[in-house]
Amino acid sequence: MQTQTELVVKMIVDAWNTQNKRVDKLINTLAEEQLRGETSPGRNSGIYLAGHLIAVSDGLFPILGWGEKLHPELENIFLKNSDKSGLEKPSLDELKKYWNEINAKIAEHINAMKPEDWFEKHTAVSAEDFAKEPHRNKLNLLINRTNHTSYHLGQLVYLEKK
C-alpha cells in the first residue's frame, strides 16, 4: 500500500516525464529544417526553444541540490539571451546529445530521491522564507517546471506540418 506522499510524488514525476517525452518525440521527429524554422512568424525558432528547455532542465541540478550543471555554457545562449542575439548556437546534433545526457542524469537523480526528500527546500529559497512557506520545496519546483515544459511544447508543435 502506497502512502499519499508516495502516490503524489509518483503523479508529479509522471507528469514531468510525460511532458518531456512529448518534447523528446518532437525533437527527434521533426526535420532539422523544421526545427530551424520559427514556431510562428517572428517568434522563437524550434532550435532556440529546444536549447531553452535543455538549459532549464540543466538548471535542475544546482537548484535541486544534485550538483553542477552539465552544460553551463547554454545559460548565456538560451536563458540570458534571445533567439536573435547573434550568439553562436550549438549544432542540432550537439543539442540532442546534451538533451539525452541531461535527461538521463535527471532520471538517475529522480530515481534516487526518497518521497520525503521532495519536501525539502530547494536552493533558490532561503531557510527563513522556507520556514514560513514550506510549499516552496523541490516537488513544487518540479510542478512548475513541468508547466513550463508544456507551455513551450504548445509552441513547438506548431513546427509540425499542417
Tell the smallest beta-carbon distance from residue 7 to a copy of itself (Å).
6
Cβ-contact 73, 87 below 8 angstroms:
no
Would you say 43 or 80 has its CB closer to a copy of itself?
Answer: 43
Tell the smallest beta-carbon distance from residue 99 to a copy of itself (Å).
19
Tell the smallest beta-carbon distance from residue 108 to a copy of itself (Å).
22
Would you say 72 or 134 has its CB closer to a copy of itself?
Answer: 134
Would you say 80 or 158 has its CB closer to a copy of itself?
Answer: 158
Cβ-contact 137, 38 below 8 angstroms:
no
Q: Which residues contact 55 (CB under 8 A, 6 or more apart)?
A: 71, 74, 75, 77, 78, 79
Strand partners, 45: 38
Would you say 14 or 32 has its CB closer to a copy of itself?
Answer: 14
Tell the smallest beta-carbon distance from residue 107 to a copy of itself (Å).
19
Residues that bind a copy of itself (CB under 8 A): 2, 4-5, 7-8, 10-12, 14-15, 19, 39-43, 119, 134-135, 137, 139-140, 143-144, 146-148, 150-155, 158, 162
C-alpha cell at 46: 524550434
3-state secondary structure of 38: strand
DSSP 59: T
Would you say 65 or 115 has its CB closer to a copy of itself?
Answer: 115
Strand partners, 38: 45
Tell the smallest beta-carbon distance from residue 155 to a copy of itself (Å).
5
Question: Which H/E stretch holds residue 140?
Answer: helix 138-156
Longest dimension (CA), the chain: 54
